[in-house]
Amino acid sequence: MSGRYGRRGRAKPASGGWEVALWYLMRITGLGLFVLVLSHYLILHVLYSPADQHSGWIAEIRWSSTFWRTLDWLMLMLVLFHGFMGMRTVVADYTNGGTRVAVTTGLYVLAVLLLVMGTVVVMTLPNVIP
């Protein structure tokens, strides 16, 4: 086992600044995802019958509310941030030099692209807001 990891996972970075902020954000987004995904599952599979749900139901009923759009957008943003920052950690642990810079830059570009695309899709889906 590497010296950077213990029984409780990755240790908090000793230096301050950006790395510590990301370390805390990873924990906060993980907790937020736990709550949002569990509530998403309970709402869509317990409160509403899955047999009654189809793309039209989502577009006409569920996403006609700004609240549900915002909740789904927030879950999407947390998933993307948490996933890409996790991949950034893996890249930082296993690559060096130019490879690290190239792969990290590619991850950031892909993350921004997916964040923009997700926001456009959730916020501009036609015929949804009454």
Q: Which residues of 109-124 are buried (b: 16+ CB within 10 A; e: fewer)?
A: eebeebeeebeeebee
Residue partners of 25: CB distance under 8 A and separation at least 6: 81, 85
Residue 55 has pLDDT above 80, yes or no: no
Contact 72, 39 (CB under 8 A): no
Query: What does the block give as tokens for 23?
Result: 């370390």
In order of their start, the domains of the chain are 14-124 (1.20.1300.10)
Of 116, 94, 112, 115, nearest in space to 103 by CA? 94
pLDDT in tens, 12-30: 777 778 888 888 999 999 9
pLDDT in tens, 76-99: 999 999 999 999 989 988 999 999
Q: E-strand spans in 1-130? A: 5-6, 9-10
Contact 114, 121 (CB under 8 A): no
Which pTM value belongs to this model? 0.78
